[in-house]
Amino acid sequence: MILNRLILTDFKNYAEADVQLCDNVNCFVGNNGAGKTNLLDAVYYLSFCKSYFNPVDSQNIRMGQEFFAIHGHYGGGDVASLTLRRGQGKQVKWNKKVCKTLAEHIGRIPLVMVSPNDQQLITGGSDLRRKFMDGVISQTDHQYLDHLLRYTKALEQRNRLLKQMWEDRLWDDAMVSVWDAQLIDSGDFLTARRAKFVEDFTPLFAHYYHWIAGTDEPGTVVYHHDGRPLVVQLEECRQADKYSQYTNAGPHKDDLLLLLSAPETSADEAMPLKKFGSQGQQKSFALALKLAQFQYMLNHSGEKPILLLDDIFDKLDLVRIKRLIALVGSDSFGQVLLTDTQPGRIQTIFDELPNLEHSLFQVANGSVTHNS
């Protein structure tokens, strides 16, 4: 997937922008706050129908304006458009045809974002790692996305029912069972697909982790879940659900464990990265997770995702930056958009990689200038 042209209107700090991109590595340089990351976020919007950084869509409208619009022209003549007007919902179009649902569009433009926020995958709660798994699988499997949406809706309804029955002091087992059936229908499917995902994903992660770390130190990911059919779990937790007013079992409780251990290490010997990993190991893990995500999506869709690298070079030494640019600029990867605060640093790397096709853009105060 190649993005040839990005057009913005009243998006974040851009009144207008029209950027022509090359097929390989595109680098946006400028001071902090100039708007480099906003360009990457606009590209992310066109793939996922939401911001990577700000969940409140209306806050992404330029101050004092009533709407924003993002248009992307892709290879093959395809055009994606996303518009948002204050007080109204988002509208997404693909080749001028309005998408009936956002889910219909997700997965059409494969994309991987790498940013400093990825550190939260290591240090944050299990919900962030579940979201990571769900996001990767959903881009390559619409059936999974459908089941995920149905499960999430049923879970919300069941929890609402549990709370209402607690407030009314009236327990209705039959009503709870109605939502149990819907959870079970999708929940076991989600668990099976996540297990298969981690099975396929683990060797890809190990490959990139060793490449980034530059050592043979062990590191792996493990899918942590109950393992029993959801009907059994729900029955066992029925009383706990009644008093907690919350569904205590199901895929929404799963986690992706990140371990400084070999895959065959026993649970008692496993070393959680969050607790035992150094800052360098945590950074290597986070980057390896995203590069493995790219490879997984390529393997399962046959299409190279667009790769966005936002402000990650300050976390790496110059040798590893050069290795990373050489890697993502190779034939194994596709189009790359990256940001950097130091034009001299990235230009030096491009000079040392003369065969690497690239475009360099200067970003300042909501304007973008093509330098080379």
What is the per-residue pLDDT for 266? 62
Long-range contacts made by residues 239-246, C-beta under 8 angstroms, separation at least 24? 241/162, 241/176, 242/162, 242/165, 242/166, 242/171, 243/166, 244/162, 245/159, 245/162, 245/163, 245/166, 246/159, 246/162
pLDDT at 346: 84
Angle among Cα 180, 105, 41 to the nearest 5 degrees reads 105
User: How far does the chain reach from its first CA to its final CA, in angstroms?
Assistant: 23
Q: ∠ CA(35), CA(37), CA(39), 5° rounding? A: 75
Distance CA 302, CA 284 (A): 26
pLDDT at 262: 65
DSSP conformation class of 228: S
59 plus 188 within the same structural domain: no
Contact 4, 22 (CB under 8 A): no
Query: Both 100 and 228 in a single domain?
Result: no
Cβ atoms within 10 Å of 181's Cβ, excluding its own: 11
Looking at the structure, tell me whether residues 273 and 309 fall in a common domain: no
Q: What is the pTM of this model?
A: 0.88
What does the block give as tokens for 168?
Answer: 């009314």
> Structural domain of residue 233, as residue ranges?
125-301
CA angle 132, 337, 274 (to 5 degrees): 35
Q: Specify whether 8 is located in the same domain as 83.
A: yes
* Domain final residue, candidates 254, 275, 301: 301
171 and 320 assigned to the same domain: no
Q: What is the pLDDT along the chain (372 residues), one digit of tens a residue?
A: 899 999 999 999 999 999 999 999 999 999 888 899 999 999 999 999 999 999 899 999 999 999 999 999 999 899 999 999 998 889 999 999 999 998 889 889 999 999 988 889 999 999 999 999 999 999 889 899 999 999 999 999 999 999 999 999 999 999 999 999 999 999 999 999 999 999 999 999 999 998 887 777 778 899 999 999 999 999 999 999 999 999 999 999 999 999 987 666 665 677 888 888 888 888 889 999 999 999 999 999 889 999 999 988 876 777 778 888 888 888 888 899 999 988 888 888 888 888 888 899 999 988 999 886
Given the structure tokens 């950027």, which residue do they identify? 19
CATH of the domain at 49: 3.40.50.300
User: 2 to each of 54, 208, 285, how far by Cα in Å?
Assistant: 25, 24, 27
Whole-angstrom Cα distance, residue 206 to residue 220? 6
Q: Are 46 and 103 found together in one domain?
A: yes
| 136 and 284 housed in the same domain | yes
Q: What is the per-residue burial (b if ≥16 Cβ within 10 Å, else e) of 250-284? A: bbbbbbbbbbbbeeeeeeeebeebbeebeeebbbb
Separation of alpha carbons 28 and 313, rounded Å: 13
CATH number for the domain that contains residue 149? 1.20.1050.90
pLDDT value of residue 198: 96
Q: Are strands 306-309 and 14-20 parallel, antiparallel or unpaired?
A: unpaired
Q: In the sheet that 358-364 helps form, which strands lie side by side, from edge to edge? A: 111-114, 306-309, 336-340, 25-29, 358-364, 367-370
Q: What is the number of domains present in the chain?
A: 2
* Crossing angle of helices 173-213 and 142-168, rounded to 10°: 130
Nearest to 132 by CA among 249, 219, 46, 254: 254
Check whether residue 106 and residue 139 sit in a common domain. no
Asked if residue 118 belongs to a domain, the reply is no
Q: Which of 275, 283, 233 has the alpha carbon at shortest distance from 257?
A: 275
